[in-house]
A and B are shown apart, each in its own frame.
Chain A
Amino acid sequence: MIALPTVCDRSAAAALYPEMADSLGIMPLGVDASRVEKIGQAMLQLLVSGAKTEGGIAIHQPSPAFTAALELTGLGHIIMEGAAA
């Protein structure tokens, strides 16, 4: 399980990249989005890419800000795909 930081800007995405790259596997990787208050394009891309890779990702406890960003960007379907797990 990987936890997203409060501010998911470009540098946060860069910092998270190696950790996520290591963790992605055949099983969906759990991503805790409960603390997210701000999120930018870089982090969204990271998540989209994660969702497209191998087992994909599963978002847990999306915060309201996170959900709002997905709604704004129309990326909900792809990022939240594995959320049910």
Chain B
Amino acid sequence: MTEDDIQQIFFVECEEALEATEAGLAACREGTHDGETINAIFRGVHSIKGGAGAFGYLPLQAFTHGFETLLADVREGKVPVEPVLVDLLLLALDCLRDHVEAARGGSTPPADADLLAKLEAAQAGNAGAAPAPPPPSAAPAFDDLDALLNELAAPAPSAARAPILDTLAGNPDSWLVHIRPHAGAMTKGSEPLLWLRELTALGGTCELCDNAAVPTFEQLLVEQGYLGWTFRMPGHVARESVAEICDFVGDDVALAYGPEGMMPPARVAAPTAPRAETAPAPIASASVLPGSETTAPVAAAAAAASAPANQSVRIDLKKLDMLIDGVGELVIAQAMLAQRLTNENLAHIEELALIETLVRDIQEHAMAFRAQPISSVFGRVPRLLRELGSSTGKHVKLEVSGEMTELDKTVIERLSEPMTHLIRNAVDHGIELPEERRAAGKDPEGTLSLSAEQKAGRIIIRIADDGRGIDRERVLAKAIANGLVAPEAQLSDDDINQLIFAPGFSTAAQVSNISGRGVGMDVVKQNVKELGGRITIESTPGKGTSFSLALPLTLAISDGMIVQVGDQSLVIPLTHVIESLRPTPADVKGMGTSAQVLNARGSFIPIIPLGLLSGAKEATSNPCEGVLVLVETEGHGRAALLVDTITDQRQFVIKALDAHYRQIDSVAGATILGNGQVALIVDVDFIASSAARTQSGPVMAAAA
């Protein structure tokens, strides 16, 4: 592993640490924080500092140091957690993020002198005083901690501390720590006995070794951790110093403190909840015992704060993409094999079915690798709201739900831009100024809610505000003025809503630096469309607006129905298909000169001949001779696609057209069939919406 790789890992970890810190500060802001929250924030900033030092990012290190010093005081309880402080910490976090970005991109680090001075002024020793170095008495424990951490970075025995031992005898301030290394602590290249040695070096003495869990020889497993120790530490040693000693093995060691703090149970035995006595331990013992969190309230809170650490492997995204590509080709090859066997009348052999199942399994697993919780996108929103809040004077509460919904990494990456646009718009245009809100009888603080859920093979992301809603009259007037819509056009509310996606459309009276240039929504629509998704708007004047993005779960492989239209094969994504039927002449009604509708159990559904759209030769135009595939669309209800026959239903690998040719409306991509033929994938939504438009009147195509 080269230094570059390690550096890459550092930045990934920075991201994680920043997210944890952000989450912690959000809890502080809402007042739901506890000791563990502060510890988590401290750990996040601290780990960035450690890496920054190791890689020589001096400005980053200097800033994190200032940040951390204040956090240390907060953790000690010397500085109360007040809104003012939380705001300052959030500012510092934003700056830290910029620092990390600067370090990553090799650009100039942000100016942080002012902020550092503020951070310093907020320290315990400086309450009300001019910024000055903290008096040594203010945080001696943390000087120790830093020193200790430096030593940990370059493991050297702290011989200088040995004399402390002499002063220990009978020290009334001494305290107890219980250490229980689990199996992992011994296997991951660490050795619990070395920690004990460190504890001794800090002045601790072994009070007791709990060997009750050690079984007789027949039942002994060499890999397991059976022993637990109780050490008496002198009063001047900070609890954190002890925690840091075993910190790097993470969950593989359980710690508990205090005279009544019980020895955490050995993990090999049936786990019972340990009581984390007094202040919650930096490494809450309960969080390492699955299934026992709820029994200890303090520990439970700690467990909730620190997300469960999964065992994981970091893989370069490129390698993962290669795997996914390979799986895609495998799916195609399998389809080709099936085709060939069919030609040989061997389609129903057992081995083929086996391969098909296996390919599907592999594909699902490979796709799962790429799935990521959407929280990484949602997690950036609080900062955005803070920035918008300070520039617009609108304070906005954030409500988030479904942040653990998983979707493809590519989708997540490309989602953040349209989301940012939508959120900016919501705050700038949607949510009113506090006075205006008060006058309207609303909470002066606006609310933005984000939600994500999985629904029918798609991910629905909703971004809703409780602002003034879309002013349809103004939108329409503006659209007419811009020539987007004919003045006499009769538009439904939904059609008017859709107008805001038109390129260059803006109703903002003045262009602000946040929004109003009229590029935003056009780009949003484009981005979402490129992801194979759709965007819909619901808006109630005075109540708010909600944007729903419907996105595919994955971009690479999907299930589809292969249909024959004249001389062409087309693929209809299965997520849209409801049913297929062959109508009787009585079911089909003519409408106008060319349009036809299908009477499906009492409701009329427009028939769209795919042959006409694809330009296929010799496609049937009589619904009674072909097959109608009923499809459901997001924004335009149902439609019946007229095809000649349905040939197959199988997985297909989506190949983007724009990479090899160019983007074509009404075609979502292409795929390779088993016989090697290229088939176009039908963009059902586009086709249904354009059909609805041509049938329901002169709506301008520019609005789409």
The interface of chain A, by Cβ under 8 A from chain B, is 9-10, 13-14, 17, 20-21, 24, 39-42, 44-46, 48-50, 52-53, 69, 71-75, 78
Contacts and interface: CB of A to CB of B under 8 A. Distances in A.
B186 A41 contact: yes
Contacts of A14: 222-223
In the A-B complex, the 10 residue pairs with the closest CB atoms: A74-B209, A53-B217, A74-B206, A49-B220, A53-B216, A14-B222, A48-B214, A41-B192, A40-B191, A13-B222
Given A42-B223, A72-B197, A74-B208, 5 more contacts: A40-B192, A40-B193, A42-B186, A49-B215, A69-B193
Interface of B: 181, 186-187, 191-193, 196-197, 200, 206-209, 211, 214-218, 220, 222-227, 229
Nearest to A40: B191
A49 B200 CA distance: 25
Given A10-B186, A40-B191, A73-B227, A45 B206 contact: no
A10 B206 contact: no
Contact of A48 (B192, B206, B211): B211
Nearest to A73: B209
Contact of A10 (B200, B216, B222): B222
B218 A41 contact: no
Q: Interface majority SS on B: helix, strand, loop or mixed?
A: mixed
Contacts of B211: 48, 75, 78
Contacts of A44: 193, 227
A62 to B, nearest CB: 16
A53 B217 CA distance: 6
A71 B220 CA distance: 23
A53 B216 CA distance: 5
A74 B207 CA distance: 7
A41 B217 contact: no
A12 B207 CA distance: 28
Contacts of B193: 39-41, 44, 69, 72-73
Contact of A72 (B206, B208, B217): B206
A41 B200 contact: no
B217 A40 contact: no
Nearest to A50: B217
Nearest to B185: A41
12 contacts: A10-B223, A14-B222, A40-B186, A41-B186, A45-B222, A45-B225, A48-B214, A49-B217, A53-B216, A53-B217, A71-B206, A72-B206
A59 to B, nearest CB: 16
Contacts of A39: 193
A50 B227 CA distance: 14
A21 B668 CA distance: 67
B186 A73 contact: no
Contacts of A10: 186-187, 222-223
B186 A17 contact: no
Contacts of A21: 217-218
A78 B211 CA distance: 9
B227 A72 contact: no
A50 B4 CA distance: 48
A15 to B, nearest CB: 9
Contact of B229 (A46, A48, A74): A74
